[in-house]
Structure 1
Amino acid sequence: MLIGYARTSTLEQEAGLAAQVRDLEALGCEKVVAEQTSAVGVRPKLDDLISFARDGDTLVVTKLDRLARSVSHLWEIVGRLQTRGVALRIVAMGIDTATPTGKLMLNVLGSVAEFERDMMLERQREGIAKAKAEGRYKGRAPTARAKADVVRELAASGASMGDIAKRLGIGKGSVHRILKADNAATAAT
Structure 2
Amino acid sequence: MAKLKAEGCGIIRSEKVSGASRDGRAELATIIDFLRPGDELVVTRLDRLGRDTRDVLNLIHECEQRGAFVTVLDPHVSTRGEMGHIVLTVLGMVAQMERRFIKERQREGIQKAKGIGVYRGGKPRVDRQRVAELTHANLGVSEIAKTIGCSRMQIYRILKGLSGGFA
Q: TM-score, normalised by structure 2?
A: 0.63
Indicate yes or no: 2:59 matched with 1:77: yes
Q: Is the 8 A contact 2:46 2:92 kept in 1?
A: no
**Distance of 1:120 and 1:50 partners within structure 2:** 28
Q: Is the 8 A contact 2:45 2:75 kept in 1?
A: yes
RMSD value, Cα? 4.1
> In 1, are the aligned partners of 2:71 and 2:78 still within 8 Å (CA)?
yes
One-letter amino acid of the counterpart of residue 76, structure 2: G
Rate the CA distance shift 1:45–1:179 in 2: closer, same or farther, 3 A.
Answer: closer
**Post-superposition offset of 1:104:** 1.1
Q: Is the 8 A contact 2:46 2:91 kept in 1?
A: no
Q: Distance in 2 between matches of 1:28 and 1:142?
A: 44
Instruction: Give the 3-state SS of the residue equivalent to 2:8 in structure 1.
Output: coil
Change (3 A) 1:161 1:102: same
Structure 2 residue identity aligned to 1:74 = V
Question: Which structure has the highest helix share of the two?
Answer: 1
Structure 2: which amino acid aligns with 1:66?
A: R
Question: Which residue pairs with 1:49 in the alignment?
Answer: 31
In structure 1, the gaps of 5 or more residues are 1-19
2 CA distance for matches of 1:112 and 1:186?
Answer: 45
Q: Is the 8 A contact 1:33 1:49 kept in 2?
A: no
Deviation at 1:150, TM superposition (A): 3.8
The residue number in structure 1 matching 2:132 is 152
Looking at structure 1, the residues matched to 38 and 132 of structure 2 have their Cα atoms a distance apart, in angstroms, of: 60
Gaps in structure 2 of 5+ consecutive residues: none
- Structure whose alpha-carbon radius of gyration is higher: 1
Q: Residue 42 of structure 2 contacts residue 72 of structure 2 at CA under 8 Å; is this kept in 1?
A: yes
Aligned length: 156
Residue of structure 2 in register with 1:6 after alignment = none
1:163 maps to amino acid: T
Q: Is the 8 A contact 1:164 1:175 kept in 2?
A: no
